[in-house]
Amino acid sequence: MGETTAVLLFVCAVGAVYLFAALAVVRAVLRRFKWVEPPTRAGRIAERGSLALAAVGLLCFAYGYFVEPFWPQVTHVRIESPKLKGAQRPVRVVHISDLHCDPEPRLEERLPGLIAAEHPDLIVFTGDSINSPEGLPVLKKLLPRLASIAPTYAVRGNWDTAFWRREQLFEGTGVHELKKEAARVDVAGTSIWVAGAPFASLADPPDGVPSGIRNTLKDVPPEAFTLFLYHTPDAILEAAETNRVDLYCAGHTHGGQVALPLYGALVTLSKFGKKYESGLHREGQTWLYVTRGVGMEGGPAPRVRFFARPEVTVIELAPPAQ
C-alpha cells in the first residue's frame, strides 16, 4: 500500500467516525424534543460505538500532543567491525536528527543531560534544525551544550537546505558542519572517519548520478571505519555500492511521526516508503540506522507524535567479539 493510499484511508476512517458521532449527537438532541423516533437496538449500538471511538480519538490526540513529544526514548544498538580491531574499548556514538526547533523549546533543555548520561565519544546530527527563524535561538542555545560533551558533527536536512540555506545554523556553536567532506576522529586507540553531505547535494547534474558519495569519501583511507551522515535513507544503495561506508546514519522519516499499532508509519517521505522507516538495517556491508528524530514537522502540520516517540540513539561500535 502506498503512502498516499494509507493516508487517505486513515483520514477517511477518522472522518467517518466523527461524522457518525456528530450525527449521533444531533439525533440525540432531536429525540429530546421528540422530533425523531427512538433508534433501534442496532442503531443505539452504532451511535454509542461512534461516540466511544470519537472519544478515544480525542484521547489519542491529547496523548500525541501533550505526552509523546515530551517522552524521549534512548535506543541502544551495537555494531561490530574488524576495522575497529585496534580499539581499546567500544566507541559510543550518539545519533540525533530532526530537531525542528520551534520558538518554544520542548526537549531541547533536556537533551544535553540525556546525551551526557550516555558518555558518548562522538555526537552526530543528521539535519532539519529549525521550523522557523524564531526557532534559531533555541537551536543556538542547544548546540554548544552538545559540542561541550563530545565532538559533534552535523549535516543539513531538507528543511535546512530548502528554507534556511542562508541561516548560520552551526557557526559559532562548536559543531562541525560537513559539506561533502570527511573528518578523522581519533578515539579509544583507533580512528573513525565521519563523512557527510547536505541534503540533495549528492547528485551530479545533468545525469543525476550520485557520485557525490565517492567524492565525499575521497580523503578517507579504504581501510578506515567510515560513518556517513545524510539526512534521508534514500542514498543507502549507492552508499553500499561504494563498499566504503560502514555505518550510514539518517533521519527524515520521523518514524512516521504518526504510526499505527501493527502497521507502523503512515508517511515516511522516503522514496523507499516503509522499507527503512526507522531502526537498524543492512545493505551489503553497510549498516543503516534511521532514527525517529527529536522534533516534529513544521509549517501547518500539527505538533503531534503517536507511537513514534522522540529518539536518541546510542550506537556502540566495537571490534568483533573474541
Query: 204 pLDDT band (50/70/90 cuts)?
Result: low
Q: Looking at the DSSP assignment, which residues form a beta bridge with residue 281? A: 288
**pLDDT per residue as tens digits for the range 249-294:** 999 999 999 999 999 999 999 999 999 999 999 999 999 999 999 9
Mean pLDDT, the chain, as a whole number? 93
Query: In whole angstroms, what is the distance from residue 151 CA to residue 123 CA?
Result: 6
Fold classified for 73-318: Purple Acid Phosphatase; chain A, domain 2 (3.60.21)
Radius of gyration of the chain from Cα atoms? Answer: 23
Q: Could you tell me which of 39, 48, 50 has the C-alpha nearest to residue 15?
A: 50
The pLDDT of residue 39: 78
Q: Residue 305: helix, strand or coil by DSSP?
A: coil
Cβ contact 63:303 at 8 Å: no
Query: In whole angstroms, what is the distance from residue 308 CA to residue 322 CA?
Result: 36
Query: In whole angstroms, what is the distance from residue 195 CA to residue 152 CA?
Result: 12
Strands 181-187 and 176-177, bridge-based pairing = unpaired
Q: What angle do CA 78, 82, 83 make, to 5 degrees?
A: 100
pTM of the model: 0.92
**pLDDT per residue as tens digits for the range 160-189:** 999 999 999 999 999 999 999 999 999 999
Query: 23 pLDDT band (50/70/90 cuts)?
Result: confident
Query: In whole angstroms, what is the distance from residue 192 CA to residue 220 CA?
Result: 10
Q: Is the peptide bond before 206 cis (omega within 30 degrees of 0)?
A: yes
Cβ contact 99:295 at 8 Å: yes
Query: In whole angstroms, what is the distance from residue 237 CA to residue 320 CA?
Result: 25
Check whether 135 has a pLDDT greater than 70.
Answer: yes
Task: Provide the residue ranges of all domains of the chain, joining segments of one domain with +.
Answer: 3-66, 73-318
Residue 130 gets which letter from DSSP?
Answer: B
